[in-house]
Amino acid sequence: MPPLPLDPSAVEQAAELLAGHPDFRVLRRLQPRDDFGVAVTGPVTSVVILDTETTGTDADSDQVIELAMLRVETLTESGAAVRVTEVFEGLEDPGRPIPPASTAIHGITDAMVAGQRLDEARIASVLEGVSLIVAHNAYFDRRFLESRLPLFADLPWVCSFSDLPWREAGFGSAKLEYLCWRNGFFYDAHRGGADCRALLELLRHPLPDDPRPALARLMERAGQKSYRLWATNSPFETKDRLRARGYRWHPERRCWHVTVERDAAKAEADWLKAEVYGGRSREIEVETLDALTRYSDRDGSIQRRAL
């Protein structure tokens, strides 16, 4: 015998009762909507939130098989989302079988993408005039999309995974599903459209240390620079020290590097001189990154600087 339908008002009362008890936490299913009831009280800008699904994780050999985008009208000063003005969801046939391991993650099968092609004209229309691209793993999405659609290289990007201080704010993980759970809602994950809706809802919430929507902090981040320090000709015996410091090895350039924010750049250069080069004067390369180059495979502006 099927269960009797529950009175929605009774369900809501039960949810509120549980939510008010310290031993329970209530999660609500995300109900997608396009209008957030925010009054337009000043200048607005358009932000695109996007997500891709692919045949794998290697941007050099795998392909995009799904692109989802939400174009969101946003108050420039406060970062409050006003409304979703454009929605794009498209599939693309990669021309070869999708690996079963990838299908197990996103659920996209060969039959679903057979003969499909991303509508490039429609994508260009959605992106026209936008001020910012937001992705929850921009290093992944940007590299794939710039390879498939070069117009993405001309737009500023931010990363809601890396550019927001989730752990410092008390979150144990920066994974999208977990962050949504911590903010009181859940969704059907791992398809592009659902992930975009969830990310938009998450970015409408504030972080604990700032009353503004998290999206406001990402919009600020777009105007900031970061710096990649290349430890050129570092002694071989310092490799463990560099690795422990957070430096990464670039196999093609055969050089260790680290990316820091502006306030930390001088201290990092001082550490390199003292701990890697033994206090001796050296020249290193300093690469300036901004929202047009950050998370891409393209180089920023590079200068040689004496330590």
- What DSSP line would sit under 144-172, residue for residue? HHHHH-GGGGGS-EEETTTSS-TTTTT-S
Q: What is the pLDDT along the chain (307 residues), one digit of tens a residue?
A: 566 567 878 888 888 888 888 888 888 899 999 999 999 999 999 999 999 999 999 999 999 999 999 999 999 999 999 999 999 999 999 999 999 999 999 999 999 999 999 999 999 999 999 999 999 999 999 999 999 999 999 999 999 999 999 999 999 999 999 999 999 999 987 788 999 999 999 999 999 989 999 999 999 999 999 999 999 999 999 999 999 999 999 999 999 999 999 999 999 999 999 999 999 999 999 999 999 999 998 999 999 999 9
Structure-token match 């092609």, residue found? 117
C-beta separation of 47 from 220 below 8 A: no
Write out the two tokens for 164: 């927001």
Whether this prediction's pTM lies above 0.85 is answered by yes
Question: Quick one: DSSP state of residue 297?
Answer: S
Predicted pLDDT at 156: 98
Domain segments of the chain as ranges: 27-221, 226-306
Q: Can you read off the two tokens belonging to residue 214?
A: 């998290």
Spatial distance between the Cα atoms of 167 and 188, rounded to a whole number of angstroms: 24
Amino acid letter for position 249: W
Q: Quick one: pLDDT at residue 1?
A: 53
The pLDDT score that the predictor gives to residue 3 is 62
Q: What is the CATH number of domain 226-306?
A: 3.30.70
Coil vs helix vs strand at 273: helix
The topology under which CATH files domain 27-221 is Nucleotidyltransferase; domain 5 (3.30.420)
223 secondary structure, DSSP code: T
In three-state secondary structure terms, 218 is helix
